[in-house]
Amino acid sequence: MATVAPNQPPVVKIEGVCKRFGTGPVVLDGIDLSVSKGEFVSLIGPSGCGKSTLLRLIAGLTDATAGAINVEGMTPENARELMFFVFQDANLLPWRRVAENVELPLLLRGDVEEKRRERVAHMLDVVGLSAAATRYPWQLSGGMKMRVSIARALSVAPDILLLDEPFGALDEMTRDKLNEDLLAIRERDPFTGFFVTHSVTEAVFLSSRIVVLSANPGRVATVIDVPFGYPRAGELRETPEFLKLLGETTHALRAVRKH
Amino acid sequence: MNPMKRRLLALIPPALTGVVLIALWYAVKRIFEIPTFVLPSPDEILTAAWVERSVLWSAMMVTVRGALLGFLAAVGVGFVLAMALGFSPRIKASFYPYILVMQMMPVTILAPVFVLWLGQGLPSIVAITFMIGFFPVVANTTMGFISVDRNLQELFLMCKATRSQEVRYLRIPGAMPYFLTGMKIAGTLAPIGAIVGDFLAGGAQNGVGGIGYMTISYFSQLKTPALFATGLTACLMGFIFVGGVNWLHWRLLHAWHDSMVKKE
Amino acid sequence: MKQFTATFVAILTLVTLSGCGEKASAPTQGAARPLTKITLQTDWYSQPEHGGFYQAVAKGYYREAGLDVTINQGGPNGIPRQKVATGAVEFAIGRTDELVIAVGQGVPLVAVGALMQHDPQAIMFHKDSGIRSFKDLQGRGMMAEPGAAWLKILEKTMGITFSLMPLDYGLSRFLTDKKFIQQCFITNEPYYVRQQGADPGTLLLSDAGIMPYRIWYTSRSFLAKNPDVVRAFTAASIRGWLDYIDGDRKDADAAISALNPKMTPEFIAYSVGAMRENKLVKGDPAKGEKVGQIDPVRFGAEIAQLTSIGVLGQPVKLADVFDEKFLPEDVRAKPAAK
């Protein structure tokens, strides 16, 4: 069962992080956040609050202008082996088939062909795309492409998974299904999750904690604890407790929007 | 039976136009009393083509050889050069202007220089064909190497890929569509380049040369029907060549690129 | 590329000009002596090898004969045979073998008189290359005019074949490659090549039994419609050539260099010297050759030679290509004495 491990040193520690692109406006100003192993943290906020930027800072895809980010005691760049990123766009290589896309991180880190094949077959099975293994990305629907992207991300069994609005372009039903699938996968192979989204429902359904950021500059406005345990079923969304928390979170978001 | 019938019916408009054009040809020749050495009739041209068929075939083979070798050189060197240029902006800034200068230089000036350095015949023809064809390959392919999707680059960063891994698995496959576009252009230019090269630097054994050479030869003998027949041969060669290159383009890309239908 | 553009421009020009003015332009009314306008198309840029015609213009011989003659320069893209055939010009300069080949392709041209009894065409090589005679040329690479009849004649009569390069009308390849061979005029290229420090040797094609005349010719229809004009032009041209070779060339040479600055007095002197030395214009008096003469026997033999090597598209008879009647009587060849 994937619960938050109490009294453990934080897996990700963000201290006083500021980010500014060149001489432009300050995108993030003094972010402090500690995340423990096994948590699932959503980052929500209005446009321009820097939630995607924060995610990319954790991933080490960009550097902080000030402050420090600590991943398992290392800098994000050094900790890359422990992490993987799921991009907004499925970001598949169009010239590679589905199976070849999933195996890419394994190929690049030097796994032998036998091991790669096994792992890819397993991952495709987990996301339910075994039948599509030989297809090309252009032959897939949006939801399927995103599942390939997730399969790829999980193929290296990362300790930390970073997802940047992965389901934003999909319709609600597909999104709900993929949310449930993601949690199911996490049950089997646990990871610490960071999730950027515009959907409050999604944030509440998936997370153990929700960080609400304000914009201009990006600051932590509120942190909301989500008391529901794991595993979570789809029906959770219709319970009164869920709807209450949904309302609270939406309220917190709206409060931030006023600025 | 229907799709077959439809395809046959589609042939009728161009076929009819062809018949009308040929009739016009004969009419013009008759009305203006144009002598054969000025404008031969289609049957005279075809007769000449038949009579000279072995010479024309050899000429086409000679020219095809030059076109093919020049084309392969243009594609090969162009690709390698593009890799170098795409690898570092500094290399690109240093060398690109000179590549442009080479491109701008008219072939008629380069040709005698090549002949001086390389000797007459195949080496010079290949060099001239190369010069004509390599710039599109370089320009397009360099573009391809540089225009890599930012997101894909980040993906490779997340995978901790080395530079050479990135080049091998991301940049080279990503540049393929651009490279193949450049290759298609070079493929269209190569037959022309080889014919021009043959004019300027070609030669003949026992009176039989390439297409360019035979053009000069027939012209100086006032064998105008044979001259036109040579033109037909050049067309044929062009079609075969371009057809081949287009097929290659389709073969390499059709699985994932050209036939890609934008869903979502 | 030049030849290709030539073909294109030629075809466009000729289609447009087909059927234009076959008859000599009508003389202006009211003038005391109405002059007939005539154009002569030469086969290259203005050079001493055209000297006799310029002399006839400069000294007024054409005027005296009732003709107003304009000389058009030719060049690498010039197409004299086609221009005469379509009536764009009345006369042009060329060789008897080219003429016969044209007639063999159905082009109706007729030779009238000869400006040179022996063609200056030769093969030029570096003396160091060790070439002594025609036999030494076998298998060599040579720059020459593709499709020229003399190549085939050498092949048939002497068994010599070449690896041929199309003429680029330049000398740079010859000067940089000691083994290079190219066709030339004995009156022209050797001079320039020596100026650049090379030591050329030449083999005159006529020594290999290739003996075209260098002629002026006209179209069959012009001949039929203006026989007097043809006769007058011929006589005046012969006069001009006699004068150019033996007399005071000053005015003709001035005209030539004015049109072609490359023609310096030294070069012209060399060229005319070569003409004299090789008896190109006047021929060999011992054989009865005269300035302007075309010997039907010799011409007939040439036609037979061309027929035997198979370069004629259709059979050509002497009467198709030549009629003695237009040469002055004293110039015509005497039948060979037994």
The pLDDT tens digits of the residues spanning C227-261 come to 999 999 999 999 999 999 999 999 999 999 999 99
Structure tokens at B151: 């997101």
Establish if B115 touches chain C: CB-CB under 8 angstroms. Answer: yes
Cα A141 to the center of its chain, rounded Å? 21
Domain-terminating residue out of C208, C241, C273 = C208
The helix, strand and coil proportions of chain B, stated in percent and rounded to the nearest 5, come to 80, 0, 15
pLDDT at residue C52, as a whole number: 94
Total domains present in chain B: 1
pLDDT at A130 over 90: yes
Q: Is B172 on the interface with A (CB under 8 A)?
A: no
Q: Is residue B56 part of a domain?
A: yes
Nearest Cα to Cα of residue B138 among B107, B106, B181: B181
Å between A44 CA and nearest CA of chain B = 22
Query: Which site among A88, A108, A171, A194 would you substitute to test the B interface, given the most B Cβ atoms closer than 10 Å to its Cβ?
Result: A108
Please report which confidence band the pLDDT of residue A252 belongs to, taking 50, 70 and 90 as the band edges. Answer: very high
Q: pLDDT over 90 for what percent of chain B?
A: 47
The verdict on residue C336 lying in a domain is no
Looking at residue B162, its amino acid is: T
Q: What is the pLDDT of residues B224-255, one digit of tens each?
A: 999 999 999 999 999 998 999 989 888 888 88
* Cα C302 to Cα C308: distance, rounded to the nearest angstrom: 10
The answer to whether position B19 is within a domain reads no
Mean pLDDT of A101-114: 93
pLDDT tens digits, one per residue of C52-68: 999 999 999 999 999 99
The string of DSSP letters for B82-121 reads HHHHHH-HHHHHHHHHHHHHHHHS-HHHHHHHHHHHH-TT
Res B263 pLDDT > 50: no
Q: Are C25 and C38 in a shared domain? A: yes
Residue A46 has what DSSP assignment? S
pLDDT of residue C224: 94
Letter string b/e over residues C248-278, b meaning 16 or more CB atoms within 10 A of that residue's CB: ebeebbebbbebeeebeeebbebbbebbeeb
pLDDT confidence of residue A161: 95
What does the pLDDT read at residue B121? 80
pLDDT at residue A47 in the model: 84
What single letter denotes the amino acid at residue A222? Answer: T
> Quick one: average pLDDT of C107-118?
94
Q: Residue A3: its pLDDT value, please?
A: 47
Confidence label for A208 from pLDDT (cuts 50, 70 and 90): very high
- Same-domain pairing of C158 and C54: no
Of B156, B160, B256, the CB nearest to A136: B256
pLDDT at A23: 85
* Cβ proximity of C245 and C291 under 8 Å: yes
Across the interface, do B160 and A85 touch by the CB < 8 Å criterion? no
- Which residues, at least 6 apart from B53, have a Cβ–Cβ distance to it below 8 Å? none
The residue of chain B nearest to residue C103, with distances taken between CA atoms, is: B222
8 Å CB contact of C105 and B115? no
Does the residue B260 lie in any domain? no
Q: Which of B38, B203, B227 sits opposite C163 (nearest CB)?
A: B203
- Distance of residue C336 Cα from the nearest chain B Cα, in angstroms: 33
- Closest to C162 in 3D by CA, of B218, B203, B61: B203
CATH, residue B189: 1.10.3720.10
DSSP A80-124: GGGEEEE-SS----TTS-HHHHHTHHHHHHT--HHHHHHHHHHHH
C158, pLDDT greater than 60? yes
Q: How confident is the model at residue C176 (pLDDT cuts 50, 70, 90)?
A: confident
Q: For residue range B95-113, what is the model confidence (pLDDT) as tens digits?
A: 888 888 888 888 778 887 8
Tokens read off for B254: 């059709």
> How many other β-carbons are positioned within 10 Å of the β-carbon of residue B92?
18
Question: Residue C334, class by beta-carbon neighbours within 10 Å (0-12 exposed, 13-18 middle, 19+ buried)?
Answer: exposed
B254 touches chain A (CB under 8 A): no
Q: Are residues C195 and C98 in the same domain?
A: no
Comparing B117 with B261, the larger pLDDT belongs to B117
Please give the mean pLDDT across all residues of chain C: 87
Question: Which band of pLDDT confidence, cut at 50, 70 and 90, is reported for residue C8?
Answer: low
Q: What is the CATH number of the domain that holds A78?
A: 3.40.50.300
Which domain CATH number covers C130? 3.40.190.10
Tell if the CB–CB gap between B221 and C82 is shorter than 8 Å: no
Is B170 within 8 Å of A91 when comparing Cβ atoms?
no
Is the pLDDT at C139 greater than 60? The verdict is yes
B13-47 per-position pLDDT tens digit: 999 999 999 999 999 999 998 888 889 999 999 99
Helix axis angle, B122-146 to B89-104, nearest 10°: 140
Do C106 and C148 share a domain, yes or no? no
Residue A194 has a pLDDT of: 95
Residue C235 dihedral angles phi and psi, to the nearest 5°: -60, -45
In a domain, B39, yes or no: no
Whether C338 is in a domain gets the answer: no
Q: Do A138 and B260 touch (CB under 8 A)?
A: yes
CA-nearest residue of chain B to C107? B37
* Per-residue model confidence (pLDDT) at position C338: 43
**C219 lies in the same domain as C107:** yes
C335 lies in some domain: no
As a whole number, the mean pLDDT across chain A is 90
Residue in A with minimal Cα distance to B151 = A91
**C53 plus C177 within the same structural domain:** no
B258 assigned to some structural domain: no
Does residue B113 fall inside a structural domain? yes
Count up the domains in chain A and report the number: 1
Read off the pLDDT of each residue in A212-228 and give the average, rounded to a whole number: 90
Taking the C-alpha atoms of residue C118 and residue C49, their distance in angstroms, rounded to an integer, is 12
Q: What's residue B72's pLDDT?
A: 94
Does B132 touch chain C if contact means CB atoms closer than 8 Å? Answer: no
**Same domain assignment for residues C263 and C133:** no
In this structure, the answer to whether residues C85 and C60 fall within a common structural domain is yes
Asked whether residue C280 falls in the same domain as residue C294, the answer is yes
Number of Cβ within a 10 Å radius of residue C10: 19
Q: Distance, in angstroms, between A240 CA and closest chain B CA?
A: 35
pLDDT for res C28: 47
Is residue B224 less than 8 Å (CB to CB) from chain C? yes
What per-residue confidence (pLDDT) applies to C257?
93
Q: How far C185 CA lies from chain B's nearest CA (Å)?
A: 18
Q: At what angle do helices B122-146 and B172-201 cross, to 10 degrees?
A: 160
For residue B256, give the nearest of A80, A84, A138 by CB distance. A138
Phi, psi dihedrals of residue B60, rounded to the nearest 5°:
-65, -45
B214 CB neighbours in chain C (<8 A) are 146
In a domain, C293, yes or no: yes
Mean confidence (pLDDT) of chain B: 88
Rounded CA gap, B60 and B206, in Å?
16
Q: What is the tens place of the pLDDT at every residue in A166-185?
A: 998 888 898 999 999 999 99
Kindly tell me if the per-residue pLDDT of C23 is higher than 50.
no
CA distance C125 to A100: 67
* B77 pLDDT higher than 80: yes
Query: Does the pLDDT value for residue C75 go beyond 60?
Result: yes
Q: How far apart are alpha carbons A113 and B110 in whole angstroms?
A: 52
CA-closest candidate to residue A101, choices B159, C158, C108 = B159
pLDDT at position C4: 63
pLDDT score, position C335: 76
Residues belonging to chain A with any Cβ–Cβ distance to chain B shorter than 8 Å: 59, 61, 80-81, 83-85, 87, 89, 91, 93-96, 104-105, 107-109, 136-138, 141-142, 169
Between the alpha carbon of residue C19 and those of residues A187, B198, C300, the distances in Å are 96, 35, 31
- In 3-state terms chain C splits into helix, strand, coil percentages (rounded to 5) of 45, 15, 40
Question: Rounded to whole angstroms, how far apart are CA atoms A40 and C261?
Answer: 92
Minimal C-alpha gap between B88 and chain A (Å): 21
Q: Which domain holds residue C7?
A: 2-117+212-326
Say yes or no to pLDDT of C41 above 80: yes
Give me the pLDDT at residue A34, please. Answer: 92
Q: Residue A100 domain-assigned? A: no
DSSP track, C153-169: HHHHHH----EEEE--S
A61 contacts B263? CB cut-off 8 A: no
Which distant-in-sequence residues (6+ apart) come within 8 Å of A226 by Cβ?
A204, A207, A208, A209, A210, A245
> Full-prediction pTM beyond 0.95?
no
Q: Would the pLDDT of B196 be above 90?
A: no
* Touching chains, B (3+ CB pairs < 8 A): A, C
Task: Report the gap between the CA of B220 and the closest CA in chain C (Å).
Answer: 6
Report the pLDDT value the prediction gives residue B260, as an integer from 0 to 100: 43
- Structural domain ending residue among the three candidates C181, C208, C235: C208
Helix (H) or strand (E) holding C92: strand C91-95
Number of domains present in the structure of chain C: 2
Number of Cβ within a 10 Å radius of residue C20: 10
Question: Are C179 and C217 within one domain?
Answer: no
Type of residue found at A87: F
Share of chain C above pLDDT 70, in %: 89
- Tell me: pLDDT of B5 over 50: yes
A2 pLDDT higher than 60: no
Query: Do the chains contact at B261 and A138, CB–CB below 8 Å?
Result: yes
| Residue of C25, C100, C95 whose CA lies nearest to C311 | C100
Measured between CA atoms, how close is B28 to chain C, in angstroms?
10
pLDDT in tens, B156-192: 999 999 988 998 999 999 999 999 999 999 999 999 8
pLDDT at C18 over 70: no
Residue A27 structural domain: 12-90+160-257
Same domain for C137 and C105: no
Residue A58 region by backbone torsions, left for phi larger than 0, else alpha for psi between -120 and 50, else beta: alpha
Q: Which two tokens stand for residue B87?
A: 């690898």
Binary contact (B159, A104; C-beta < 8 A):
yes
Tell whether C82 and C152 lie within a shared domain: no
